Amino acid sequence: MSNEIVKYDNQLNEVPLGRLNAVQLNFFMTLVQQSYSKGTSLLHLPFSKLKELSKYQPTANERFIKDLMSTNAKLLELNIWQRVGHKIVQFACFDKFEIDPEACEVTVSVKPEFLYLFNDLSRWTRFQLAQFTSLHSTYAKNMFRLLKQYRTVGRLRLTKEELFKQLDLPKSYLDKTSRIQQRVLSPIKEELSPVIRGLAIKTIRGAGRGRPVVAYEFTWHPEAKNADDFSKGQYADDRQKLDNIDLNPSLTPEEKAHAYDRVLGFKLGTTDHKQWQKVNTKGLSENEIAKEISQKEYEKHFRELFKTWLQFYGRANAQIVNKLRFLYDSYGLDNVCTKITYYGKIPNLGLEPLRILELIENSLTQEQGEN
């Protein structure tokens, strides 16, 4: 179910959801996605479907029910300005929120006064549910939905106060610009750069003593108006994410390495940031400059090989990365990529990744011997 699309009225983005944790946000966006164009109809969602769509990990239903209940409780604590008039009403957008442990089913329905959020939309925010649920931090999830409102514009500016409100940042961060950068903005860039091409975050300072931070500007490559949000398949999606990381000039080498780790499911710090380190020619001899340029080119080519592997065989662990590097060193980029593509296109091969790499090595060794 990787092509489920979330679509809702832009006014929903005015509701700060920073108090919901990652699991609760996944539940809420799944319910939003399921409520689209359903009016006030009762929606009966089996536990299994809700778990799958929200990428819920724990298996015990007792824990699942508690997490659902906590999600609804958090939503009831939120306030929102109603569209008509100037009344503040509690954000209980679901008229019915019923959990049946015996039937393993959740039943929800949208309140009539909030129908405009999910039906007959004239302006909307749209994104792929699977992309949202794959994000880890609440900061990244909330910024993702806000940026997607302006996906064809490519620019969003939030005042410092708006950022704190939307993300529910601790008050202790108010005068700690470096802490916001390290614990909020850098992780957001690392998580969102793979799925939002060219993402950059600029700190805007005002006039006066110390030039205090007054706003944050998010920019990215605007999406085409007719662009869809559909998955192209896990392998193609992962390769596109890695390309977006490689080509983003606003990311530091450390941020690029962390972004790679997040996409590939590695522990942070696994990928060597030196793969993207810029060549600094100051004070270096011509031989040293040439060596650094050569190393940078080497890593660039290896990343291309690595992404070709992902395109056909999915995720890779450290053992596979090391084996790919050995094959690259021994036989070169073009030869290894050709073999990866050849075996990747054989239907129903059904072999483990390391066994595929053994076949590639044996084939290349044999061809080298024949030559």
The DSSP annotation for 159-200 comes to EHHHHHHHHT--GGGTT-HHHHIIIIIHHHHHHHTTTSTT-E
Angstrom distances, CA of residue 369 to CA of 131, 252, 337, 365, 366: 46, 43, 19, 6, 5
Report the pLDDT value the prediction gives residue 86, as an integer from 0 to 100.
61
Strands 43-46 and 105-110: antiparallel
Report the pLDDT value the prediction gives residue 176, as an integer from 0 to 100.
83
Residue range 1-134 forms a domain whose CATH class is mainly alpha
Report the pLDDT value the prediction gives residue 113, as an integer from 0 to 100.
84
Cα–Cα nearest to 124, from 143, 94, 145, 138: 145
pTM attached to this predicted model? 0.81
Q: Which residues of the chain have pLDDT under 70?
A: 1-2, 79-90, 279-282, 284, 289, 293, 371
Residue 348 burial (CB count, 10 A): 4
120-171 pLDDT, tens digit each: 898 999 999 999 999 999 999 999 999 999 999 999 999 999 999 999 999 8
Report the pLDDT value the prediction gives residue 56, as an integer from 0 to 100.
94
Report the pLDDT value the prediction gives residue 230, as an integer from 0 to 100.
84
Report the pLDDT value the prediction gives residue 272, as an integer from 0 to 100.
86
Q: Which two tokens stand for residue 11?
A: 């006014």
Q: What region does 100 belong to: left with phi over 0, alpha with psi -120 to 50, or beta?
A: beta
Strand blocks (E) in the chain: 5-9, 43-46, 79-81, 88-90, 94-100, 105-110, 124-128, 155-159, 200-205, 213-219
Using DSSP, state whether 217 is helix, strand or coil.
strand
Q: Indicate where the chain has its CATH 1.10.10.10 domain(s).
A: 1-134
Distance between CA atoms of residues 242 and 300, nearest Å: 12
Q: How many residues in the chain?
A: 371
Report the pLDDT value the prediction gives residue 89, as an integer from 0 to 100.
65
